[in-house]
Amino acid sequence: MPELKFEATVNGRKVAKSVKPFSRLLDFLRDDLNLTGTKEGCGAGECGTCSVFVNGTLVKSCLVPAAKARGTTIETVEGLARSGELSVLQKSFHKTGASQCGYCIPGMVMAATAAIRANPLVSNDEIKERLGGNICRCTGYSKIFEAVELARDVMNGARPATALLEDEVDEGQFIGANVRRLDAPSKVSGKLKYAGDMLMPDMLHVAVLRSPHAHARIVSIDTSAAESFPGVEGIVTSADVPGVDGFGVFVQDQPIMARGKVRYVGEAVAAVAADDELTAKRAAALIKIVYEPLPGLFDADEALKPGAPVIHDYAPNNVTKHIPIRKGDVEKAFSECDLIVENDYETQQVEHAYLEPEAGLAYVDHDGVVTVISPSQNITHHRHMLARILAKPINKVRFIMSPVGGGFGGKEDMIYQGMLALLAMKTGKPVRLVFTREESIASTAKRHPARIHYRSGFLKDGRLRAVSLRMVSDGGAYGLSTEGVMRKAAILGAGPYDIPNLQVDTIGVYTNNTPSGAFRSFGALQTQFATETQMDIAAEQLKLDPFEIRRINIMRNGAVTHTKQKLGSVSIARVLDALEAVSAWEKGAPAPQRGETRGDLGSEGARRACALDARFGERAEAKLKTEVA
């Protein structure tokens, strides 16, 4: 294939290289120039982690064919602080704590730079619009907007340059103080290397072949055509696992790669290491697998029915974990209640969508230590599991945690590190795998979807006397964190309320859906949604203010939870008071007919609806008309 001659000025230096004709500007910057401050979060123009300037115009480099950028002047995040000193914007990101995981930050800094260059007096609304193409999953954006506003003001002299310095705090007084993050400079400058940015000499690239079936027996795997594909250095399947093949946070039910059968669409079946990513991908497509499809199970309630297909032999009833809690006499209490609120709730699967797709680098070091570098949220546990899987003593397995470009629980599971270890051992070379966004969404754990049947019994005065709660949760094809999520849901599910009679059952089941795993709040969110909705419905029916019905029932200092934990101090009363104040809540029972007469809507501090009118629309129109005239 004829290469494309590429000449450009990048961060002030002339570069001349040959690139593949289909290279994207992003590939050129990362692979040919090793400018890894420019990230790939999605490859589809959605996330903005790859934003760079081309001839002074901000573009998403994953959507720009490299050929288009020939002869241009390119500026990447590395170019902003070429002098060694961070730019005003980078300093303000540091100051306000705008960088958390940091993976979106180089792109965010570039977009913010573009906004201020386009309009040095850019309004707060216009900042939001101009950053609209860049996604962050950690911050909720507030600190990022704060940073851009601060930089704008400093650059315009509206605030002194000293505003960029760390706030002074009294010796040792850090609570309530604004402390700058130590790792922020490396993030705002794009210098921090995430696993997918790391290189080693002789490094191979990995592609994974994944199951197209939700449930199927693997009849045969033929890797011969792929093995003989030029550039391929090694292929692994479950047959290459030397030890006890199984990982999982609570139950080690998941093999490194599918063993004997596949249990969900996207499950890894084989992995190929080759000279480059494209070769690995093309070789993986040559692996022939014969499947015998099995009946699939796609609904949590169906999984509990007698005669349902069995996903794991060890769990013939498809139950991953059932957590029952009993306190008092629920049925007796219900019979004495004035109001029983009974409803069914359902929550959905949710993807974590951290900006950094999974990535890892593995090698066997000079002492024979199998080493895996990855953004694992649980490296010590991974190390123990991998030692067992590889049948090696623990001192011959090492995990290095690379910066986590967002995890939210989604990187707790050892989904791909085992394949990398096996390939590093088989090829004797360092191997690196970087997930595509699609691969990340298809193959990694999600928030547990849940169905909840909920009964709450109240007295007329609002006292909650009994709760019965049954949650059936789809854990998907493997156990991962399901047991812990069920425990947490059971412990916290009934909310921060003192309930004398309680019956809780949380049941995680196996299906052939994408596995569910850890996700912020870890099971509590699903039940809280139901619990708080029950409270609101009860408030409406009992004609009580929603804050009041909660205050009647909350736990107080010294309360004992239904799992027998004595609580020293309980802050829910203060939380309710603060919430009532900031929301400008109008006291009274919920009454939908109040509608537009509500005074608390649109009050100070309430956010207005989404709009794109900082540059156009009614507010900007007068300005526009004058400019056009």
Residue 58 or 389 with smaller CB distance to another protein: 58
CB of 412 to another protein, least distance (A): 24
Q: Evaluate whether 520 touches 354 at the Cβ level (below 8 Å).
A: no
In the range 438-497, which residues lie near another protein by CB under 8 A? 438-439, 442
Note whether 601 binds another protein by CB under 8 A: no
Which of 15, 63, 315, 572 is the binder for another protein (CB under 8 A)?
Answer: 63
Of these, 41, 43, 248, 406, which contacts another protein (CB under 8 A)? 43
Residues in contact with another protein, counted by CB under 8 A, come to a total of: 44
Of all helices (H) and strands (E), which one includes residue 442?
helix 437-443
Among residues 160, 138, 141, the alpha carbon closest in space to that of 151 is found at: 160
Give the residue, chosen from 281, 384, 426, 463, that forms a contact with another protein under the rule CB under 8 A: 281
User: CB count, 10 Å around CB of 159?
Assistant: 16
Out of 12, 295, 324, 617, name the contact with another protein by CB under 8 A.
Answer: 617
CB atoms within 10 A of CB 172: 6
What is the distance between the alpha carbons of residues 198 and 192, in angstroms, rounded to a whole number? 10
Q: Helix 546-553 vs helix 572-582: angle between axes, to the nearest 10 degrees?
A: 170
| CA 309 to the chain's CA centroid | 31
Dist CA 474 CA 472 (whole Å) = 7
* Closest distance of CB 607 from another protein, Å: 13
Q: Cβ of residue 140: shortest distance to another protein, in angstroms? A: 15
Return the percent helix, strand and coil in the chain, to nearest 5. Answer: 30, 20, 45
Task: Based on the shown chain and the rule CB under 8 A, indicate whether residue 59 belongs to the binding site for another protein.
Answer: yes
> In one letter, which amino acid is 228?
S
For another protein, the binding residue among 48, 449, 476, 523 (CB under 8 A) is 48
Stretch 127-156: interaction string toward another protein, x if CB under 8 A: --xx-xx-----------------------
φ/ψ of 457, rounded to 5, equals -115, 125
436 binds another protein (CB under 8 A): yes
Which of 130/382 has CB closer to another protein?
130
- Nearest alpha-carbon partner for 467 in 343, 317, 318, 312: 343
Q: Between residues 105 and 535, which has the closer beta carbon with respect to another protein?
A: 105
Q: Please tell me whether residue 624 binds another protein under the rule CB under 8 A.
A: yes
Helix (H) or strand (E) holding 514: none
Identified binder of another protein from the candidate list 298, 578, 612, 623, rule CB under 8 A: 612
**Rounded alpha-carbon distances, angstroms, from residue 210 to 45, 214, 270, 301, 442:** 25, 11, 7, 27, 10
Nearest approach, Cβ of residue 22 and another protein (Å): 5
Answer yes or no whether residue 1 interacts with another protein by CB under 8 A: yes
Interface with another protein, residue 44, by CB under 8 A = yes
Residue 46 in contact with another protein, rule: CB under 8 A: yes
C-alpha 127/C-alpha 345 separation (Å) is: 39
Q: Which is nearer to another protein, 43 or 102 (CB)?
A: 43
The answer to whether 445 and 518 have CB atoms below 8 angstroms apart is: yes
The tokens describing 96, both together, are 């306000």
Task: Select 121 or 219, whichever has its Cβ closest to another protein.
Answer: 121
Match 């190390």 to its residue by tokens: 383
Judged by CB under 8 A, which stretch of 190-198, 316-324, 402-410, 620-628 contacts another protein? 620-628
Distances, alpha carbon 87 to alpha carbons 60, 161, 193, in Å: 21, 12, 20
Binding window for another protein (CB under 8 A); candidates: 51-59, 175-183, 488-496, 569-577: 51-59
Smallest gap from residue 97 Cβ to another protein (A): 24
Determine, following the binding rule CB under 8 A, whether residue 621 of this chain makes contact with another protein. Answer: yes
Q: Are 615 and 119 in contact (CB under 8 A)?
A: no
What CA–CA distance (Å, rounded) separates 221 from 292? Answer: 12
- Quick one: 342 or 613, whose CB is closer to another protein? 613
CA–CA dist 536, 564 (Å, integer)? 27
Q: How far is the CB of 467 from another protein (least distance, A)?
A: 36
- Residues of this chain that interact with another protein (CB under 8 A) are 1-2, 4, 21-22, 24, 43-46, 48, 51, 57-60, 62-65, 67-68, 70, 111, 114, 129-130, 132-133, 278, 281, 436, 438-439, 442, 610, 612, 615-617, 621, 624, 627-628
